[in-house]
Amino acid sequence: MEFPTIFYRKPGPYAGPGMTYDTIGVTDSAQAVALIDQGWKATFAELLETPPDPVEIRQDPVVVPEEVSAESEPVDLPTGPETANKPVDLPGDFMPSSDDGFAAHEPVAKKKRG
């Protein structure tokens, strides 16, 4: 092994293929032996061969808020012809305007030509 070199271990701040990993610079064989004893790998290929770390899966209970539970009263939303093509009040600055002062959503035929 030649020095200086880089050793690798999982997990860490760097993203790799399906994992995260960390790196450290190694300057001599004594440091290399100590790091290998701590789980560091001498090559990235060795790191890829190590099994993935176990992942803790939490299964928190699902809590349904009272206002959306199955026992809640149904809400009647307006539908049908009484709501079709009805204008909706929006804030005055909601619709963009074109450079000539007409709202951008107005049909071209309604624009004043001058």
Locus of tokens 């539908």: 79
Is residue 40 domain-resident? yes
28 vs 37: CA distance, rounded Å? 15
Asked if residue 104 lies in contact with residue 95, where contact means CB atoms within 8 angstroms, the answer is yes
Mean pLDDT over 21-31 rounds to 95
Which pTM was predicted? 0.47
Whether residue 55 is contained in a domain is answered as no
pLDDT for 57 beyond 80? no
| pLDDT at residue 7 is higher than 90 | yes
Task: Give the mean pLDDT of 12-38.
Answer: 94
Averaged confidence pLDDT in the chain? 76
Within-domain flag for 19: yes
Domain extent, residue 42, equals 5-49
For residue 114, tell me if it sits in a domain: no
Q: SS3 of 11, please?
A: strand
pLDDT score recorded for residue 106: 52
pLDDT over 70 (residue 93)? no
Both tokens of 113, joined, read 């030509």
Is residue 69 in some structural domain?
Answer: no
pLDDT at 62 over 60: yes
Report if residue 12 sits inside a domain: yes
Mean pLDDT of 3-30: 93
Q: Is residue 77 part of a domain?
A: no
Q: What is the pLDDT of residue 73?
A: 67
Residue 57 lies in a domain: no
Question: Per-residue pLDDT averaged across 61-80, rounded?
Answer: 65
Q: What is the number of domains present in the chain? A: 1
Cα 78 to chain centroid distance, Å, stands at 36
How confident is the model over 77-93, as a mean pLDDT? 63
